[in-house]
Structure 1
Amino acid sequence: MRKLVVSTVATLLLAGGSAAFAAPHQTTGQIRQFTAGKTLVLQDGSAFQLAKTFRNPGLKVGEKVSVNWDMNGKNKIAESVTVVK
């Protein structure tokens, strides 16, 4: 019985760790360059490709934004961009 409990707990810990690894990332910064429908570049040089489903909330160069993104190969894909006030 003890072996079963230990192996079950170990499995749950490993499964939980992989789920956390797949979570999207978040970055905050000012917009340096914005090409509607294609790319977003922040002042620190972070570049994001915009998802095909991206809807522009009225972004402008110089605005502070929060970007939720995930990796797709070597590219950072912005899943959502919101203006930070």
Structure 2
Amino acid sequence: MRVLLSNLAIVTVLTTPALALAAQTATGTVKDYNKASMSLTLSDGITYQLPKGFHEPGLKTGEKVSVSFDMSGKKHEAKSVKLLR
């Protein structure tokens, strides 16, 4: 029984950080896209910092998008942005 519980504890400890590092996804409407500052703000007020070399897929105010992002402290760092049509 001890071996089973210790193995379960080890698996739990090893898999928890991997789950925390998984990218999150948000869907919403573009409120502002600033190419100069490389940022995208959705209608919910959350601003996503876009990665260097970001290829803009035709972002305009009012477009529906899906943003895959990671958290870095309190910053939302976008990994990808896809238009939803």
TM-score bracket for this pair, using the shorter chain length: 0.7 to 0.9
Q: Deviations over 1:6-48 (max 9, x none)?
A: 2122110222122111111110000010012511001111111
Separation in 2, partners of 1:53, 1:76: 17
Q: How does 1:41-52 map to 2 (within 5 A)?
A: 41-52=41-52
Distance 2:33 2:43 in 1: 11
Matched to 2:17, the amino acid is: S
TM normalised by structure 1 equals 0.87
How many correspondences in the alignment? 84
The runs of 5 or more residues in structure 1 that have no matched partner are none
Aligned residue number for residue 72 of structure 1: 72
TM-score, normalised relative to structure 2: 0.87
Q: Which residue of 2 aligns with 1:81?
A: 81
The CA distance in 2 between the partners of 1:83 and 1:29, in whole Å, is 10
What letter is aligned with 2:76? K
Of the structure 1 ranges 54-63 and 5-14, higher mean CA displacement relative to structure 2 is found in 5-14
Q: How does 1:20-59 map to 2 (within 5 A)?
A: 20-36=19-35, 38-59=38-59
Return the alpha-carbon distance in structure 2 between the equivalents of residues 3 and 44 of structure 1.
Answer: 49
Which portions of structure 1, spanning 4 or more consecutive aligned residues, are displaced by more than 2 angstroms? Answer: 2-6
Identity %: 37
Question: Following the alignment from structure 1 to structure 2, what is the Cα–Cα distance between the partners of residues 8 and 51?
Answer: 39
Partner Cα distance (1:54, 1:3) in 2: 51
